[in-house]
Each structure stands twice: as C-alpha cells, then as structure tokens.
C-alpha cells in the first residue's frame, strides 16, 4: 500500500520535496524580476544609513511642486546648476530631476510588495533556525567531547569543529587590541 503525503499550505509542514520545488520556482521568478529591472543600485550599509534619499510619505508630491516653482522662474535657481549632476553646468536641469523623481516613485511602488514577501521569509528562516540551532549546538558539544575517544565520530564532526574554530579565530582577529579604539578597546 502506497502512503500518500497530504499537501499542506504551510512551508513548515509541506513535504520537503514540495518546498524545494517551490523555492526553485521563487528563485526563478526573482531572477525574472531582476532581469526586468536592470541597473538597480546596491548601496553599502553605511550609504543606506546616511542616505539623503529617504523620502517621507507625501514628500515626493511636495518636491514635485518645488520643481514647478523652479520652472516658473529658473533664473532664481541657477546657483544650484552644478548640484543636479546633469549635463549642463550652467542651468538646473528640471527635466532630468523630474525624470529621476518619477523613476524613484515608480520603483517605490514595488517596495511594499517586496517587503510583504521578504520579511516573512526572513522571519521564517530565523524561526526555523531557533527550532534547530539550540538542540544541534547542544549535540555538537556532546559530540565534540565524545569524539576525543571515537574516531568515526571525530571524522564526521571534524568540519564542524573547524568551522567553529575558524569562526572564533576570525572574531578574534577583527577585534582591536586592548587600548585601541573600537570594540573592546579603550
């Protein structure tokens, strides 16, 4: 008698083969989405933190009115001509700025949809990590001790011992010496 595995609507209990198939499909769809939007920028963490490009709700519409004001009498704004990163250093290029603002607004429409997918995926990965890491680390501590007298077990967990040893070495090498500025220093 063949046992049928019931389908589930949750990534937490659907058959692993089904989840793997769906992850492959989502990765392909994300790849297609990336292909539809060539030229997206990737900022550094520091650039993101200090960016002046974080517009508040409604700010884009307000800034479009500023563009209208500039177009009303461009002479008032010629002192800003070299700040628009445009082609003409003698005039503030409002068409260029309006185009950038429109592009920003269009791409901003994607953010809620992407966050609706991204945050639950990130949270579920963390949730599953919480359900697996503590018990496996406890088992690792036992295995590390027992492996001193069990060669087969030592051979199996050797890569794990190396992983955690290298992790500690990397952390120590990135810490400043006592008295140096930074983490743990004076």
Alpha-carbon Rg for the chain, nearest whole angstrom, is 27
Tokens 């292909």 belong to 35
For residue range 116-164, list pLDDT tens digits in order: 999 999 999 999 999 999 999 999 999 999 999 999 999 999 999 999 9
Compute the distance between CA of residue 176 and CA of residue 173 in angstroms, rounded to an integer.
8
For residue range 81-101, list pLDDT tens digits in order: 999 999 999 999 999 999 999
DSSP per residue over 3-39, as a string?
PPPPP-S-TTTS-HHHHHHHHHHHHHHHHHHHHHSTT
Question: How far from each other are the two terminal CA atoms of the chain, in whole angstroms?
Answer: 70
Asked if residue 160 lies in contact with residue 133, where contact means CB atoms within 8 angstroms, the answer is no
Compute the distance between CA of residue 93 and CA of residue 87 in angstroms, rounded to an integer.
8
The rounded mean pLDDT for the chain is 90
Look up the pTM and report it: 0.71
The pair of structure tokens assigned to 159 is 């890569």
Of residues 186 and 100, the one with the higher pLDDT is 100
């Amino acid at each position: 008698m063949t046992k049928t595995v019931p389908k589930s609507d949750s990534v937490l209990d659907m058959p692993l083969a089904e989840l793997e198939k769906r992850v492959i499909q989502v990765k392909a769809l994300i790849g297609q989405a990336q292909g539809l939007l060539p030229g997206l920028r990737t900022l550094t963490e520091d650039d993101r933190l200090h960016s002046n490009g974080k517009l508040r709700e409604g700010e884009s519409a307000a800034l479009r009115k500023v563009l209208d004001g500039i177009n009303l009498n461009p002479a008032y704004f010629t002192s800003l001509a070299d700040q628009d990163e445009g082609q003409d250093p003698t005039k503030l290029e409002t068409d260029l700025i309006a185009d950038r603002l429109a592009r920003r607004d269009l791409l901003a429409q994607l953010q809620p949809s992407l966050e609706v997918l991204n945050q639950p995926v990130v949270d579920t990965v963390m949730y599953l990590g919480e359900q697996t890491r503590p018990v496996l680390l406890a088992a690792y501590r036992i295995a590390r001790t027992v492996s001193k007298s069990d060669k087969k077990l030592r051979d199996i967990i050797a890569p794990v011992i190396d992983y955690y040893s290298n992790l500690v070495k990397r952390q120590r090498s990135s810490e400043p010496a006592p008295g140096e500025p930074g983490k743990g220093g004076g």
